[in-house]
Amino acid sequence: MNALSTFRFPRHSPFAAVCGLFASLLAPAFCAPSVLAAETSDHGAVERPAYATPPSPRVSADRTGVLQTRDGLTLRVSADLGSVRILSLEPGAAPVVRYTVHLETDAHAPIAQQLLDHYSLTAKATPSGVEINGSLPPQASRHVSNAQFWVQFEVAVPPGYSVEVNTLAGDIETQDIGGTAALLTQGGNIRAGKIGFGGMRGVVAGRSVAKLETQGGHIQVLDVAGDLNAFTAGGHIVAGNIAGDAMLRSGGGHIRAGQIGGRAELDTDGGNITVGKAGGVVIVRTGGGQIDFGEVRGSVRAQTGGGGIRVMYVSGPMEVESSAGSICLTRVAGAVRAATAGGTITAWINPDSPTDNGAVHLAGASQLSSGDGDIVVFLPRNLAANIEALVESGGARHIEADPALRLTFDSPANGTGGPLHAATVLNGGGPLLRLRTTAGNIRLQFLDSQVALRDSLIREQKERLTQRLSELPQFAPVANKEFVPVEGPAPRPEERGDWLESWMDKLEIAFFGGLREDPGEFQKRLVYSPKPAYPELARRTGIEGVVRLQVLVTKDGRVDLQKVLEGAPVLVDAASEAVKRWRAKPVWVDGKEIDVISTVTFNFQLH
Same domain, 523 and 596: yes
Same domain, 426 and 504: no
Same domain, 13 and 156: yes
- Number of structural domains (the chain) is 3
d(CA 11, CA 474): 43
Rounded to the nearest 10 degrees, what angle do helices 499-512 and 14-26 cross at?
50
Same domain, 506 and 451: no
* Model pLDDT, residue 433: 96
**483 is a domain residue:** no
Same domain, 403 and 532: no
Provide the 3-class DSSP secondary structure of residue 547: strand
Same domain, 436 and 503: no
**380 is a domain residue:** yes
pTM across the whole model: 0.69
Same domain, 353 and 450: yes
**26: amino acid identity, one letter:** L
Same domain, 112 and 14: yes
Give the chain's end-to-end CA distance (angstroms, integer): 52
Cis peptide bond prior to 530, omega within 30° of 0: no
Q: Which of 195, 196, 194, 188 is nearest to 213 (CA)?
A: 188
Residue 402 CB-density burial (10 A; 0-12 exposed, 13-18 middle, 19+ buried): middle
Same domain, 449 and 554: no
* Model pLDDT, residue 422: 93
Judge whether 257 and 275 are in contact, CB under 8 Å. yes
d(CA 499, CA 501): 5
State pLDDT tens for residues 461-519.
667 667 766 654 443 333 333 322 223 333 333 333 333 343 334 434 443 455 667 78
Same domain, 140 and 2: yes
* Model pLDDT, residue 586: 76
Which of 456, 486, 516 is the endpoint of a domain? 456
Provide the 3-class DSSP secondary structure of residue 447: helix
Which of 170, 197, 232 is the endpoint of a domain? 170
* Model pLDDT, residue 590: 56
Judge whether 254 and 233 are in contact, CB under 8 Å. no
Low-confidence ranges of the chain (pLDDT < 50): 1-3, 9-56, 200-204, 413, 472-512
Indicate the pairing of strand 375-379 with strand 442-446. Answer: parallel
**597 is a domain residue:** yes
d(CA 421, CA 442): 11
**214 is a domain residue:** no
**402 is a domain residue:** yes
* Model pLDDT, residue 307: 86
Cβ atoms < 10 Å from Cβ of 231: 19
**120 is a domain residue:** yes
Which of 170, 197, 214 is the endpoint of a domain? 170
Same domain, 393 and 504: no
d(CA 190, CA 83): 10
d(CA 179, CA 199): 8
d(CA 291, CA 329): 12
Residue 520 CB-density burial (10 A; 0-12 exposed, 13-18 middle, 19+ buried): exposed
**160 is a domain residue:** yes
Same domain, 428 and 568: no
d(CA 22, CA 81): 12
**269 is a domain residue:** no
Indicate the pairing of strand 420-426 with strand 336-340. Answer: unpaired
- In sequence order, what E strands does 15-58 have? 45-52
d(CA 552, CA 600): 11
User: Which residue range forms the structural domain that includes residue 386?
Assistant: 341-456
d(CA 388, CA 347): 15
* Model pLDDT, residue 536: 86
